[in-house]
Chain A
Amino acid sequence: MLRGTGLLVAARLRRDRFTLILWTVLFAGLWAAVGAGLGSSFDAQARSQLVALIAADPSLRMLRGAPAGTSLGAVMAVSTLAYVGVTIALMATFLAVRHTRGDEDAGRAELVRSTPIGRLAPLVATAIAGAIEVAIVAAGLAAGSLAIGLPAEGSALMALGVLLTGVAFVLVGLLAAQVMPSSRGANGFAAAIAGAAFVVRGVGDALADAGDDLAHVASAWPSWLSPIGWITQTHPFADPSDSAGWAPSWTPLALFMPLLLVLAAVVVALESRRELGDSLVRERGGRARAHALLGTPLGLAVRLQRGAAIGWIVAATVVGLFIGRVAPVAADAFESNPTLLALVQALGGTADDTIDTFVHALAGIVALVACAAVLQGATRMRSEELAHGEQVLATRTSRLGWFGATLAVALVAGVLVMTAFAAAASVSLASSDAARTGTVVAIAASMLPALGLYLAVGALLVAVLPGVGAWLGWVLLVVPMLLGELAPLFGDDLDWLQDVSPFHHLANPLASDPDWAASWWMLGGAAVALGVALAAFRRRDAAV
């Protein structure tokens, strides 16, 4: 059953070696950078203010976590550990799907299976290689943590939590690969589970009772349903000597044991009876004739992009509904605490109305999602061209028509994401007696230039750099966002890093005198870049 496993493990590690280095450097480097920045620019008092802010605000707890102390490590944990958890989960699921369903889709698995290797060898080899890679990343994280002088026990505890989460999600990825009929479907399914683990943890932290301490918040029960919650519940950098007496705890990690055993048993049982290429969810048949609208480039683009777009729109709607429930609660917490109110305004709150500030903060996150939707839709043109260019471009469909239709649908999908958010937030705020539709719409609209910018980025990638993968687009989306988000933690010298993020330049309609110039420049620049991309796409050889 397992013959050849060692060989396949080696092959997988070799195939992943560059991405593995990248992931390790990313985790360890970002963790150490955040720590160094926080350590140098936040003294103990500033840290307790920051923690108090998070403790008091359910929406921040949702996005960050429930605080467990004000030590440097504890502040880092509350602001980034949940993100570390969801990122390792995504890395693990993509890894597992790539080596299983991905290989089956590409036909490589058939070649491998025709050699005398065991039936379970590809699956087990993927699990082992995944565990090794996750362990390397976790070790890098621990090393980064020790390097900035965090306690050894907490560093080890956090690394073990990250390792176990990674292994759990390798198994989730393997399960998804057997459930879904394509690697695209399996990645979506597994990523949705990782996202759900993050959100369930967030709901538990948001529902927690903030208490009086404003440095320690005990999460509500939903956090205990999520593996990402189990990492944060270890409180790796809690300091037993402070008033609440919380200590790092290894026990939450025991919950991984039953989870890993059940997942492993299910995955092995399924694989033992599964035929090559088979899946639990079967590809169903469909219509023999195409719908009347499916005969133009626009109709085709709508059909091809609608599945992904619906996913993004549902996510934005959920966030919008959430804000309506949570923002008024948070506002109450602030308004009953004048010290906190002063704090949030000192930390850059431009509005007098705290609900508006929450809406703006969450709209920024949704705008990031919308930009991701736009970028995904635009760069989809690249794989379309490779796979179908030879057929589509030999019809009377012009290049401009094809590319233009794809870009238009991508942009509309992004705008619909913002619209769904604005509508859901408006409705749910109104039902919480905090109606402010005009403001919500203005905030959502103020984000639109960023969508145009990333549409242009995706279009230029397709038209000018067709040999470079879509990954460059994701780097251009995520890295400036991360730098912009983290820049305040790095200290005053590095404030310019904020300017790297396009979101930082967007006009804030909550300001007393919003400066729209940068937004207009962004839109204009995007329009010019789009024109350049369309012209380049028309002139170059088709990538077929």
Chain B
Amino acid sequence: MSVIATKALEKRFGRSVALDGVDLTVEQGEIHGFLGPNGAGKSTTIRILLGLLRASGGEATVLGMHPWRDATRIHERLASVPGDVTLWPSLTGGEAIDVLTRMRGQRPPARDRARLLDAFDLDPTKKGKAYSKGNRQKVALVAAFATPADLYVLDEPTSGLDPLMEEAFRAEVRRVADDGATVLLSSHILSEVEQLCSRVSIIRAGRIVEAGSLADLRHLSHTQVSWEGESGSDAGAPGLADVATRGGRVVGSLAPESVPTFLVWAAQRTLPGLTMQPPSLEQLFLRHYGSTDAAPDHTHGRHARTDDPER
């Protein structure tokens, strides 16, 4: 059974539509990347899954339960990190960590907590107000990873972290996944998702526009080809699309089914410095959010919120 399953999930705020039929499936034990630009509906989806918001339509289950009605029972088995962490100004970071883990019903072993504080290089004795953005984020991360849970819901958890800390974060995500937990990781840092996630869902203007394993998605996407040469040296290349010449190189892209015939064609001539790159997540992403269609798609009757539903 899926750990998270939504079907045609909708959320309206007044007249604006934040979610317009989200179908999201996260299977047991996977690290699932949840990608999308600002305002696409990532946080709104996650808040519905956490029972903070009530869906306007559609269905959702988390750990087989209803996210609104069974919120507290779900939360006993879940740990989460919001994208924008606010700490209590009068509580220290260490106190905030204990408050959050105890409110999850857990008393994590002291050595786990100490190990995490060390891994994230966090001073737990400072008052909440004294922490920088990255350190506030670390407080929430320590509180989440100190909690043994079946499901971790992480909403852009690494915003404000430096690269060393991002590495510590990836190590923790792998650790909990190795222990059998499921992770939903919302992000727009593609390299992070590429390194961690086995499957991804891409949301745009309140809809999932692409979902599958990274391998599947790559298969669907185009391979980038380039070699040193003048324009015209691609004459007759089978299946090559989007051809252009930049900096003395011919560049183009190939649909997956055109790759074999292109290779046969390429083998029959000299193409100096030929490179072929599998599609990166970035290209997948840009294909869905490229500058030409980054604007909200009003022609289909969808309305992206003009204010920022992330907040």
Contacts and interface: CB of A to CB of B under 8 A. Distances in A.
B94 A287 contact: yes
A392 B102 CA distance: 11
Given A393-B51, A395-B105, 6 more contacts: A286-B127, A290-B98, A390-B82, A393-B50, A395-B100, A397-B72
A513 interface: no
B70 to A, nearest CB: 11
Contacts of B71: 393, 398
Interface in B43-78: 47, 50-54, 71-73, 75-76, 78
A388 B75 CA distance: 16
A317 B99 CA distance: 33
Contact of A286 (B105, B125, B140): B125
A394 B89 contact: no
A2 B51 CA distance: 51
B99 A300 contact: yes
A307 interface: yes
Given A387-B86, A394-B153, A542-B53, A303 B91 contact: yes
A544 to B, nearest CB: 6
Contact of B98 (A289, A297, A307, A541): A289
B157 to A, nearest CB: 12
Interface string A290-315: 11001111001001100100000000
- Contact count band on A: 35 or more
A289 B95 contact: yes
A401 B97 CA distance: 20
B244 interface: no
A394 B78 contact: yes
Nearest to B82: A390
A389 B125 contact: no
B92 interface: yes
A181 interface: yes
A398 B85 CA distance: 20
Given A394-B80, A396-B104, A290 B94 contact: yes
A542 B95 contact: no
Interface of A: 181-182, 184, 283-291, 294-297, 300, 303-304, 307, 387-398, 539, 541-542, 544
20 contacts: A184-B89, A285-B127, A287-B95, A289-B124, A290-B98, A294-B99, A295-B102, A300-B99, A300-B103, A307-B90, A388-B86, A388-B88, A394-B52, A394-B75, A394-B78, A394-B153, A395-B100, A396-B75, A398-B72, A542-B52
Nearest to B93: A288
A396 B99 contact: no
Contacts of A539: 54
B170 interface: no
Nearest to B11: A541
B298 to A, nearest CB: 25
B130 A304 contact: no
B103 A296 contact: yes
Contacts of A398: 71-72
Contacts of B92: 285-288
Contacts of B130: 283
A542 B86 contact: no
Nearest to B105: A396
B34 to A, nearest CB: 16
A304 B96 CA distance: 12
Interface in B125-144: 125-127, 129-130, 140
B98 A395 contact: no
B52 A288 contact: no
Contacts, number: 111
A393 B94 contact: no
Nearest to A385: B52
Given A182-B89, A288-B125, A390-B47, A541 B94 contact: no
Contacts of B124: 288-289
Contacts of B96: 290
A179 to B, nearest CB: 16
Nearest to A388: B86
A166 B299 CA distance: 58
B103 A295 contact: yes
A181 B88 contact: no
Nearest to A393: B52
A544 B88 contact: no
Given A285-B92, A294-B98, A295-B99, A182 B50 contact: no
Nearest to B51: A393
Contact of A290 (B75, B80, B89, B99): B99
A396 B94 contact: no
B95 A290 contact: yes
Contacts of B85: 391
Nearest to A284: B127
Nearest to A307: B90
Q: Tell which of B76, B99, B130 has the most Cβ of chain A within 10 Å.
A: B99
A182 B129 contact: yes
Contacts of B105: 395-396
A13 to B, nearest CB: 28
Contacts of A390: 47, 50, 52, 82
B308 to A, nearest CB: 13
Interface string B162-196: 00000000000000000000000000000000000
Contacts of A542: 47, 52-53
Nearest to A400: B72
A395 B146 CA distance: 14
Nearest to A386: B86
A294 B95 contact: yes
